[in-house]
A and B are shown apart, each in its own frame.
Chain A
């Protein structure tokens, strides 16, 4: 293994600057009110192709993973079964106003692949759980003890064919958020 040689080369070559840690970012996010955060979140989510909906309006009957029993049932489900999922409902941890992203992590997901393999992803989010920026988001996240976490800000999309935007490249074709 080359670990030793690589680290030696780095020690030999790295700039001998006295520079210490980059100033701990004391950036303060804009002081948007809860209402402002909510409306910005909605605007940015829609810009990324996400939709805002209500449970009543839903065209489908999602598999409700906010329910403990269904989470348990799907915890060991084989891929073929997951691949047949039409729509799922997941409880989001918090949202980010500046870009419409929502944080999900292991504890919210019976299996990590579920928000991707389903055709439609529905996330329920408490309207008060929206922070202003990604700075706030990363101050909030505690990854220790978690194996996996993801920000989702829209349906899966691609523009690899002549820059034409198409939703549903590999992951969910549709993202609906219920506030």
Chain B
């Protein structure tokens, strides 16, 4: 991605009705979440507990990972470890080759997106069918997911109807959601029944029992895993929970916070391979262990990928997931993205309103981390020259009383008297898409001096 978030967002906003629909639809999801949360009197306590459990996991990650691996092996699974995306992709290819598999289905896994698994396998002549309806739609369209829970939320039904007409031979012009879903069901049933390998992501992995837990509404993880002789579960190493009883806390939070449902339709616990089947678990690092060392950003490893921070974010809702350019969009993606190499503008794609932190089920202080990133990126000169200069100038202006007073007066005069053309010169990037407020007659300081009831003089 070469274009900035602001440029992409401008493109998204050019289609106003769609942008408004996107904004409103995600806000409805947020409201459903609020209702579901309000239904649980101990909601805040659950968040506290979830956060504490994740803290415990991160402080003892090595111990729990080894405990998990030992339990999983005892259950009959084979466990692999991958340091980075390249190793992960190679491990997956090796498993596929070992089983001489041609037909492979995959349910939702942000990790495989992060590692570019599909693209890599394709380059090796291996085709993977994504089976989540939203993911299948965007796979047909060669697009990336724009949301981690609602991957096709950027599309309108007519576009999906056209795609299905082209790929699945549905009636031209028919974009009825039930009709299209039925067509996808039929198409994917065939894929499931022919599958030799099923790949899934992992929501939780329990150290105590060696089980992996996957939550879906569609049932596509199970349709795949239970049809194919070989199942592969791919997990980031932070997905560990110490005990089975911890699942009580997390399954109560996840779906409620994601979509406002009390629980997903299916919460599946995979322990042992099927009779005569094989079960693999691949544990992936890909930068996570390095993040453990950074106290400023370690909290981001607690994320359970519920998508709540996206649904609530005023910037995400009005700019769309693709505008971020990183595989995980929205507030948490702007923390997880590898900024120093790419994406240096993402931490600025936020109003720092803190709504994300308020809804986060594991209590990550998302907006504070975004703020830290801004500082780090400024220090490392990763931001644009204009922004750095503007910041410097503002710093100077705000650090002296007299300078501040004078500049305030100048600004009030300028906004009131200068021609529009001059005020909205290209250096005023803030003014692109925003209107300057009307300038008040006097500064607050002056107003306070004349109106302060105690008439005490302040300087």
What residues of chain A have their CB less than 8 Å away from a CB belonging to chain B? 1-3, 5-7, 9-15, 17, 19-23, 25, 27, 44, 47-49, 79-80, 83, 96, 98-101, 111-113, 116-117, 133-139, 141, 143-144, 146-164, 166, 168-172
Known: A9-B285, A19-B56. A153 touches B262 (CB 8 A): yes
The smallest beta-carbon distance between B130 and chain A, in angstroms, is: 11
- Quick check: which of B220-228, B315-323, B407-415 contacts chain A, the rest being far away? B220-228
Q: Is the CB of B245 within 8 A of A168?
A: no
CB-defined contacts of A153 to chain B, threshold 8 Å: 262-267
How many residues belonging to B are interface residues under a CB distance threshold of 8 Å? 91
CB <8 Å contact, B271 and A146: yes
New A-B contacts (12) at CB < 8 Å, excluding given A5-B83, A135-B249: A14-B58, A15-B58, A101-B263, A117-B223, A133-B252, A150-B269, A156-B219, A158-B218, A161-B137, A163-B153, A169-B220, A170-B219
Flag whether B66 is at the interface (Cβ < 8 A).
yes
Using A13-B290, A139-B245, A163-B25 as known contacts, say yes or no to A169 and B285 having CB atoms under 8 A apart: no
Nearest to B151 among chain A residues (CB) is: A160
Known: A160-B133, A166-B178. A6 touches B269 (CB 8 A): no
Question: Which residue on A lies nearest to B209, using beta carbons?
Answer: A143
Q: Which of B218-258 contact A (CB under 8 A)?
A: 218-220, 222-223, 225-227, 237, 242, 244-249, 251-252
Q: Does A134 contact B292, Cβ atoms closer than 8 Å?
A: no
Contacting pair A134 B248 (CB below 8 A): yes
Nearest to B158 among chain A residues (CB) is A162
**Chain B positions within 8 Å of A13 at CB level:** 289-290, 292-293
Report if A112-B226 is in contact (Cβ < 8 Å); known contacts: A19-B56, A135-B245, A157-B265: yes
Main secondary structure of the interface of A (DSSP, over half): loop
* Nearest 4 Cβ contacts at the A-B interface: A171-B219, A147-B272, A113-B226, A160-B134
CA distance in complex: A150, B247 (Å): 13
Q: Are B55 and A19 in contact (CB under 8 A)?
A: yes
Question: In the complex, which residues of chain B have a beta carbon less than 8 angstroms from the beta carbon of A22?
Answer: 49, 52-53, 55-56, 242
Most chain B CB inside 10 Å of its own CB: which residue of A7, A11, A83, A161: A161
Check if A98 sits within 8 Å of B262, measured CB to CB: yes
Nearest residue (CB) in A for B222 is A116
**Candidate in A14, A22, A150, A151 with the most chain B CB atoms within 10 angstroms:** A22
Name the residue on A nearest B249 (C-beta). A25
* Interface stretch of the complex, out of B179-187, B327-335, B397-405: B179-187
Indicate whether B192 reaches chain A with its CB closer than 8 angstroms: yes
Q: How far is the CB of B208 from chain A (nearest CB, A)?
A: 9
Interface residues of chain B, those whose CB is within 8 Å of chain A, are 25, 28-29, 42, 45, 49, 52-53, 55-56, 58-62, 65-66, 75, 80-83, 87, 131-134, 137, 150-153, 155-157, 160, 177-178, 180-182, 184-185, 188-189, 192-193, 209, 211, 217-220, 222-223, 225-227, 237, 242, 244-249, 251-252, 259, 261-274, 283, 285, 289-290, 292-293, 295, 298
Q: Which residues of A contact B180 (CB under 8 A)?
A: 161
Bound complex: CA of A136 vs CA of B245, how far in Å?
9
Could you list 12 examples of A-B contacts with CB < 8 Å? A10-B237, A14-B58, A17-B59, A44-B262, A112-B226, A134-B252, A147-B272, A163-B153, A168-B185, A170-B131, A170-B223, A171-B265
Contact A147 B248 (CB under 8 A): no
